[in-house]
Amino acid sequence: MSDAVRVSGLTKTFPGRRGAARVVAVQDVSFSVRKGEALGLVGESGSGKTTVARVLVGLTRPDAGTIAINGRSRERKERGRSARLRRAKEVQMVFQDPYGSLDRRLSVEAALRDVLRRHLPDPAKETVRARIAELMDCVGLSEQHLGSRPHQLSGGQRQRVAIAKTLAVDPAVLVLDEAVSALDVSVQAQILRLLNEIRVDTGVSLVFVTHDLAVVGEVTSEILVMYKGEAVEQGATADVLRRPQHPYTEMLLSSAPGPNWKPERVAELRAAFASTR
């Protein structure tokens, strides 16, 4: 199976405050995602995972490294409207806050129609209407939601609409930045099941950015653990979660509340890890 995403030597720095040295957000990170598979990008706040996500979708330009989507390099700046639209179609992003990513003035139908008219080769009214119905069915929403505006929907429904908007352009890769962290646990489970079904049905590849290792275990086959901009552990999700090889990964796993959760053990691991850095 070929790779949908291939990243090599990705590095990104930002200017320091008040003339201080540049801050390294991502340092020499490499990974790949096979077509139709899901990668979990995991780490605490400040680990660099969101910077990687923003670079993937083109919201941030890297200082060094290469990115290829379906074998096509993303380094060159595209010229012309058609080229920019094609590039935008390759990778789409679902953000943490669905309310902030949706236009509050538009109904669900209007939001989807707006995306489709810009990207469909045949934007005829009948074609657009049929595609909207297909997208609503794909994300588990009904026709009755088409007239609703964001404030009239629940958090889970808004996130489903956000996912439908990204799927409207048939992306090769879907980047999800903490896409379920703002939702109730029961709604999280519904969205995770939905994403897994979409991945299987459409063949889209997922890059799931999260701090929650339980979420990663539900939807990904591979995992990349980041700490202060560096990739410290990478492998099959089940293997990494069962037998972590890096002390930082072990600390993250121990920090997740559960039946045998011990705060003192977490503090001990965190102190031990800090002493080695």
Q: What is the pLDDT of residues 192-248, one digit of tens each?
A: 889 999 999 999 999 999 988 888 888 899 999 999 999 999 999 999 999 999 988
Task: Between 126 and 239, name the one with better pLDDT.
Answer: 239
Q: Is 67 helix (H, G, I), strand (E, B) or coil?
A: strand
**Confidence bin at 83 (pLDDT 50/70/90):** low
Least confident of 76-80, 123-127, 138-142: 76-80
Share of the chain above pLDDT 70, in %: 88
Whether 144 and 108 have beta carbons less than 8 Å apart is answered as: no
Q: Which residue has the tokens 């989807």?
A: 112
Highest mean pLDDT among 144-158, 175-189, 254-268: 144-158
Q: Give the C-alpha separation, 208 to 139, whole Å.
A: 18
Interval 167-186: pLDDT, tens: 998 899 999 998 888 788 88
Q: Which two tokens stand for residue 52?
A: 């990687």
Q: Which CATH architecture fits 3-243? A: 3-Layer(aba) Sandwich (3.40)
DSSP-assigned letter for residue 272: H
Q: What is the pTM of this model?
A: 0.88
Average pLDDT (58-82) is: 82
- Sheet of 72-73: strand order equals 23-34, 3-14, 64-69, 72-73
Q: Which residue spans within the chain are E strands per DSSP?
A: 3-14, 23-34, 38-42, 64-69, 72-73, 91-94, 173-177, 205-210, 222-227, 230-236
Size of the chain in residues: 277
**Confidence bin at 259 (pLDDT 50/70/90):** low
Residue 101 has pLDDT above 90, yes or no: no
Domain boundaries, the chain: 3-243, 244-277
Query: For residue 26, what pLDDT is reported?
Result: 96
Residue 79 has pLDDT above 80, yes or no: no
